[in-house]
Amino acid sequence: MAFDHSFGIEEEFFLVDAKTGVLGTPALDRLMNDARARLGDVVTSELLQSQIEIASPILRSHGEAHEVMSRTRRGLHEVVAEHGLNIVAASTHPLGVWQEQLITEKPRYDKLIADFRIITQRNLVCGLHIHVAIPDDVDRIDVMNRAMHWLPLFLALSTSSPFWNHRVTGLLSYRQALYDEWPRSGIPDFFQDEADYQAFTERMRMAGAISDSSQLWWSIRPALRFPTLEMRIADVCTRLEDALAIAALYRCLVATLVANPEMGKARSSHTRRLIDENRWRAKRDGVKAEFIFETCNEVVPVAKVVSDLMSACSEQIDRLGAAEALQPIERILSEGTSAHQQLKIYNDSRATGDDSLEALLKVIQWLIATTLR
């Protein structure tokens, strides 16, 4: 029987005041008790009290993913609404001020603050994490190494963080720029295999740098608790259908890499730096970026990279029934991501004479409505 490459989706949200749209500071214990009573353990708190996360159960089809994630987003909204709040799916909040945020009281977060100081307090960002199961007889590090070529593409398709501290940043994913402050983030090195990866993890643990491999916060990594390869580079998507499309594309990529062990294998001393250069282009220009590939002497538009990847994954797209889930990608490429829409609303508002605060509030209202659409 063919391996089904089951998958999981984690989405992080901002909690905002239902009347003003600014970041909320809830009575966190009561909110979390109510959320878990309604939704179960799929809801977890985050480092900052103005954030909350949902994590899917194991998913085996894209139809199931749509049903589960839409029901969970809706259910979470209903719970937080009882506390005078809304949820917002964006990787930065246009009016967020990191100095005003409260840290969730947990020993784990106390340790993070002790280790990383101001970097921990500045971590006012939300992300989208996608897990895809790997067969037991396949080395996850081999698949990770070969998947890294396409990581910037998933960032380009998901950008949702053009604002920071009341300002237009000029980037479409400021979250990625902010996350670069953390150690052990960004594009990982090419490890030889899982044994080599575990040896590195153990060396870091013995030195007191990490407690376990969950503190290797790279854009992609083998999960600690699950037999999966976890992609962490994507911004959280305001539109749920965009998140589901990105999850479908990543699942099909992983399945294709497992089925074709030579795909993505070629690399040189330039490869990691070129991937990181493409990540920079993705966080700056999103779907309008042009990527550098070692296999040709020209830069390649994101739309062409998507087209080539879909062709390479066509067999697995059919096998896994992912074609319908992937349809929003065409709209993303033509109309842009959440970041593009946020900037359009802001610029249109300013053009009519609104000041910056009024324009940012209109962006927030769009984010609230679209998160729940």
Bin 171: left if φ > 0, else alpha if -120 < ψ < 50, else beta.
beta
What are the pLDDT digits (tens) for 129-166? Answer: 999 999 999 999 999 999 999 999 999 999 999 999 99
**pLDDT (mean) for 313-342:** 98
Look at residue 2 and tell me if it is in a domain. no
- Provide, rounded to the nearest whole percent, the portion of the chain with pLDDT above 90: 92
* Residue 358 lies in domain: 7-371
| Global confidence as pTM | 0.97
The CA distance from 320 to 311, in Å, is 15
Contacting residues for 113 by C-beta, under 8 A, at least 6 apart: 103, 120, 121
**Among 10, 77, 80, which residue's Cα sits nearest to residue 41?**
10
pLDDT band at 356 (very low <50, low <70, confident <90, very high): very high
If one counts the domains in the chain, the total is 1
Query: What angle is formed at CA 157 by the lines to CA 178 and CA 213, rounded to 5 degrees?
Result: 50
Query: What angle is formed at CA 294 by the lines to CA 293 and CA 298, rounded to 5 degrees?
Result: 55
The CA distance from 133 to 76, in Å, is 26
The CA distance from 73 to 54, in Å, is 8
**Is the pLDDT confidence value at 297 over 80?**
no
Better pLDDT: 275 or 373: 275
Whole-number average pLDDT of the chain: 96
pLDDT band at 262 (very low <50, low <70, confident <90, very high): very high
What are the pLDDT digits (tens) for 65-77? Answer: 999 999 999 999 9
Look at residue 155 and tell me if it is in a domain. yes
The CA distance from 346 to 340, in Å, is 10
Look at residue 254 and tell me if it is in a domain. yes
Look at residue 299 and tell me if it is in a domain. yes
**pLDDT (mean) for 334-344:** 98
In the prediction, which pLDDT does 105 show? 84
Look at residue 359 and tell me if it is in a domain. yes
**Is the pLDDT confidence value at 333 over 70?**
yes
**Is the pLDDT confidence value at 113 over 80?**
yes
Q: What is the CATH number of the domain that holds 203?
A: 3.30.590.20
Contacting residues for 115 by C-beta, under 8 A, at least 6 apart: none
In the prediction, which pLDDT does 1 show? 65
Look at residue 1 and tell me if it is in a domain. no
**Is the pLDDT confidence value at 250 over 70?**
yes
The CA distance from 185 to 47, in Å, is 17
pLDDT band at 169 (very low <50, low <70, confident <90, very high): very high
Continuous H helices in 41-86: 62-81
**Is the pLDDT confidence value at 78 over 70?**
yes
pLDDT band at 102 (very low <50, low <70, confident <90, very high): confident
**Is the pLDDT confidence value at 207 over 80?**
yes
In the prediction, which pLDDT does 104 show? 87
**Among 75, 79, 178, 182, which residue's Cα sits nearest to residue 126?**
178
The DSSP string of 109-150 is: HHHHHHHHTHHHHT----BEEEEEE--TTS-HHHHHHHHGGG
The CA distance from 54 to 45, in Å, is 9
The CA distance from 99 to 118, in Å, is 10
Q: Which of 3-12, 21-30, 344-353 has the lowest mean pLDDT?
A: 21-30
The CA distance from 355 to 20, in Å, is 17
Whether the Cβ atoms of residue 93 and residue 25 lie closer than 8 Å to each other: no
Look at residue 59 and tell me if it is in a domain. yes
Query: Looking at the DSSP assignment, which residues form a beta bridge with residue 300?
Result: 291
Contacting residues for 371 by C-beta, under 8 A, at least 6 apart: 13, 73, 77, 86, 87, 88, 89, 238
Per-position b or e across 245-261, b if 16+ CB within 10 A of its CB? bbbbbbbbbbbbbbeee
**Among 26, 12, 13, 11, which residue's Cα sits nearest to residue 85?**
26
- Provide, rounded to the nearest whole percent, the portion of the chain with pLDDT above 70: 100
